A and B are shown apart, each in its own frame.
Chain A
Amino acid sequence: AQRVTQPEKLLSVFKGAPVELKCNYSYSGSPELFWYVQYSRQRLQLLLRHISRESIKGFTADLNKGETSFHLKKPFAQEEDSAMYYCALNDNAGNMLTFGGGTRLMVKP
């Protein structure tokens, strides 16, 4: 069965510092990976997906199949980045999106 692990429950950085939210997965096939974000008092929403190789709000994430990782990175954190971040995996064979445990990012002024 697939699994998504986010080792850090809480990540606290200062404004302007680089940030990396870790995500590791276990899946034997070719995964589709996503990052979802939940800002305070807002609903959970898609941030970015690996296949698009996009940069959203300054965040990027690279799929590393060798390390089975999909870490989310931003070179200069902003206070408005403070939120709950979830890494998710779609096995592409079924209809279930598997989420990690989430990482709360706090960006301090």
Chain B
Amino acid sequence: NAGVTQTPKFRVLKTGQSMTLLCAQDMNHEYMYWYRQDPGMGLRLIHYSVGEGTTAKGEVPDGYNVSRLKKQNFLLGLESAAPSQTSVYFCASSWGTGWNSPLHFGNGTRLTVT
């Protein structure tokens, strides 16, 4: 039981390049999330999904797109990377919402955009 797995672990992009971050969970969770972590700003929600085939915007969705074609996978795409998107990206999943549904996090992806 691997939990939440993110790939890649590190990536360097040039401005304007595109890439996709993959998140996979093997816990049969309905909810999946993408956060970005920046110093002093904590974790900010980019997009989330409440089930297969659904996505919704979080706090900072601009410049990102997501897809949840399969329940176990949640993809985060950057169509045209910008230096402001340099960050550590965390994927998380949960079976529900509320106090009894803690988030399970992946190990993170460190992205640098030059």
Contacts and interface: CB of A to CB of B under 8 A. Distances in A.
Interface of A: 4, 6, 9, 32, 34, 36, 43-46, 49-52, 86, 90, 92, 94-102
Interface string B89-107: 0101000011100110111
Given A43-B108, A46-B102, A49-B102, A86 B43 contact: yes
Given A44-B90, A45-B105, A46-B102, A95 B97 contact: yes
Nearest to A41: B107
Contacts of B76: none
B44 A43 contact: no
B50 A95 contact: yes
Interface of B: 4, 31, 33, 35, 40-45, 48, 50, 56, 58-59, 90, 92, 97-99, 102-103, 105-108
A22 to B, nearest CB: 14
7 contacts: A32-B98, A43-B107, A44-B103, A46-B103, A52-B99, A86-B43, A95-B31
Contacts of B102: 34, 46, 49
B107 A96 contact: no
Contacts of B107: 43
Contacts of A90: 97-99
A36 B43 CA distance: 11
A50 B100 CA distance: 11
A95 to B, nearest CB: 5
A28 B90 CA distance: 28
Given A32-B98, A46-B102, A102 B48 contact: no
B99 to A, nearest CB: 4
A92 B33 CA distance: 16
